[in-house]
Structure 1
Amino acid sequence: MITRPSRDGAPARPRSRARALALSAVPPAALLAVAGLAPLPYAVARPGQTTDVLGAHRGAEVISISGAPVRKTSGQLRMATILATAPRAENRLGDVIDGWFRTDRAVMPKDTVFPSGLTDAEIAKHNRADMTSSQDAATAAALGYLKKDPDQVKVKLKLSDVGGPSAGLLFSLGIVDKLDGDGNGGDLTGGRKIAGTGTIDADGTVGPVGGVALKSQAAKRDAASVFLVPKADCSNARSAPDGLRLIPVTTLKDAVQSLRALAKGGEVPSC
């Protein structure tokens, strides 16, 4: 460590020690105030929109099918979302603390919500690509389950302002309901408002998603009575609002069978 002599010839106090002493002299309240002004690497999420995939959104049918007879449906299949602060939003200490103590908010590291190292425009493009991939998988899963020829039956899915893959399960169920209902002339929904979330693979496997607890709040807010949840997310969904029935699923077949049983008053699994 290098020291410099003072003007009166006495050795000066080391610089690093001087800085430490100066910092220790700052009141704790002032340090908290500085921390409160600094942006933190967290996103704050809340319940987002739910959209009925059996209906229209922004003037256009969410699911359009050609090449096969399409049923007139009743009831609703509402895909649930969360709404997170923008990737470049600067959430500060007060925002994060508020989110931690509210049941209708969730605080999550930004890199678990958004791909890291990308601009806002690149993240939006990434989310749109995820949605497109999810729609393709949902169509393949539904037509495969129904044993329909994808070269003859064409499905178009359109849902603006929503990104990511977590609508896959509800897209597949919507296609099944429009083409086959409950398999016996009735509605897959049984006339109910059904909400849910979950990714889906082309083989019909349902995968976990984020923000399940918040999505269940969105479902209850929009008057759904049933919430379909990936079985792997059951532990995260158990804080769902009272009066919302949670049904765990692992495949598209599971989901269809559970909804058929529900419509008939049969036994249905629960989280």
Structure 2
Amino acid sequence: MRGLRVSRNVVAIVSSIVFVILAALLVVTPVPFVTWRPGTTVNVLGSTGDGPLVEVKGVQNYPTGASSLLMTTVSTTRVDANVSLPEALLAHLNPHSDTLPRDVVYPVGLSDQDVREEAVAAMDTSRSNATVAALGAAGQSVKEMPMVESVVLSGPANDLLRPGDLIEEVDGKAVKSREEVVDLIAQRSVGDVVGFKVLRDKASELVLVKLEEGSGSTPVAGINVGTGFNYAPEVIYRVDSTVVGPSAGLVFSLAIYDKITEPNLLGDEIVAGTGAVDSAGKVGAIGGVREKIAGAEEAGASVFLLPTANCVDVGDLTTTMRLVPVSTLKDAIRALQKINEGKTYAEVPTCG
């Protein structure tokens, strides 16, 4: 009997050790998921020590009052970090967090630097689109022009033309579209010198490029041409550089519009929002909307603007805020005007 008791004690001790080891492994072993949690909110109508977070120069500015316009963010597991099984389960069970397959958020093979560069590029595009959309909505003159999107490093235009150059003329002929630029280059011969009149830093310059032979013996300048925009005002963004991605476009647009129009768009409301925006003001769906709503509610917002396409993601969500779906920047402006002028939501759409 005594030996049996010793044997049982040994089994109990060994079992406890095994349990502790397994529990420890469970905690530290990574799983192929990432978590999304509510991130910080930023009042884009506010300022830093260097100036307004969104500053518009070269056009009349108007007071924005005591209102707040909150940019919302999501706190995401970094590409170089891991999530344990308990962390993933807790995030999945939390109505204000989410768990997603790692490969969906971070495609295999992308480094931390790759992800960062993509997100920064998306933010740059978001700011550019927001500027164009807001200026257009405010009645400012915005001219669409062909633009140098990129320059081939080994091509003839390298160190001559620059990304962002707006193309006014090709060999003395005015151009209004990407297609016109491409056609005029195609009409020339390999070895010809082509003159590009470009608008760079608000000043016109003539740049001469000797065409080289491309695929199929076609003449090429070694540039990719897209669409850009020319406008007089200058918009400066001073938002934290660690905040990246495309989803702040709608909020940036509203900040610009509110600063250069009157009356005050927001009144005394705390308004939050999210949504990608293109240069025409169309608002596109984004990810992490539930987490952003939670962050905005915690920050005291009473109205939350979101893409109409994201309404399906929040149908079961309980919140004290008014969730206002918008398909365009003009939709968002009209909704805020109705809230501000009438202090009523009767004519303002809502998700659900």
**Which band: TM-score by shorter chain?**
0.7 to 0.9
Match of 2:350 in 1: 270
Q: Does the aligned pair in 2 maintain the 1:199–1:208 contact within 8 Å?
A: yes
- The code of the aligned residue for 1:91 comes to V
Equivalent-residue separation in structure 1 for 2:281 and 2:116 (angstroms): 26
1:175 aligns with 2:272: no
Q: Report how far residue 28 of structure 1 moved.
A: 11
Equivalent-residue separation in structure 2 for 1:112 and 1:158 (angstroms): 30
The C-alpha deviation readout for 1:54-80, integer Å capped at 9, x for no partner, is 112465421111111111112011011
Query: Which structure 2 residues correspond to residues 28-39 of structure 1 after superposition, within 5 A?
Result: 37-39=28-30
Match of 2:42 in 1: 51
Query: Which structure 2 residues correspond to residues 68-87 of structure 1 after superposition, within 5 A?
Result: 68-74=59-65, 75-87=67-79
Match of 2:297 in 1: 220
Match of 2:246 in 1: 165
The C-alpha deviation readout for 1:180-219, integer Å capped at 9, x for no partner, is 14xxxx2111220000000000000000111111100100
Equivalent-residue separation in structure 2 for 1:57 and 1:243 (angstroms): 30
Structure richer in strand, relative to its length:
2
Query: Which structure 2 residues correspond to residues 12-23 of structure 1 after superposition, within 5 A?
Result: none
Deviates more, 1:206-215 or 1:95-104: 95-104
Q: Pick from 18, 41, 44 the counterpart of residue 32 of structure 2.
A: 41
Larger Rg: 2
Cα RMSD of the aligned pairs, angstroms, is 2.1
Deviates more, 1:205-214 or 1:27-36: 27-36
- The code of the aligned residue for 2:309 comes to A
1:248 aligns with 2:333: no
Q: Does the aligned pair in 1 maintain the 2:31–2:83 contact within 8 Å?
A: yes
Instruction: List 4+ stretches of structure 1 deviating above 6 A.
Output: 27-33
Q: Report how far residue 110 of structure 1 moved.
A: 2.2
Equivalent-residue separation in structure 2 for 1:162 and 1:96 (angstroms): 24
Equivalent-residue separation in structure 1 for 2:329 and 2:348 (angstroms): 15
Q: Report how far residue 153 of structure 1 moved.
A: 1.5
% same residue: 36
Q: Pick from 94, 118, 129 the counterpart of residue 110 of structure 2.
A: 118
1:238 aligns with 2:315: yes
Q: Report how far residue 167 of structure 1 moved.
A: 0.1
Q: Pick from 257, 261, 270 the counterpart of residue 334 of structure 2.
A: 257
Question: Structure 1 stretches of 5 or more lacking a match?
Answer: 1-26
1:153 aligns with 2:220: no
Match of 2:148 in 1: none
**TM-score, with normalisation over the residues of structure 2?**
0.64
Equivalent-residue separation in structure 2 for 1:134 and 1:82 (angstroms): 17
Deviates more, 1:102-111 or 1:205-214: 102-111
Q: Pick from 103, 107, 110 the counterpart of residue 99 of structure 2.
A: 107
Q: Pick from 53, 57, 63 the counterpart of residue 54 of structure 2.
A: 63
Q: Report how far residue 33 of structure 1 moved.
A: 7.1
**TM-score, with normalisation over the residues of structure 1?**
0.82
Secondary structure at 1:176 match in 2: helix
- CA 196–119 in structure 1, closer or farther in 2 if over 3 Å, else same: same
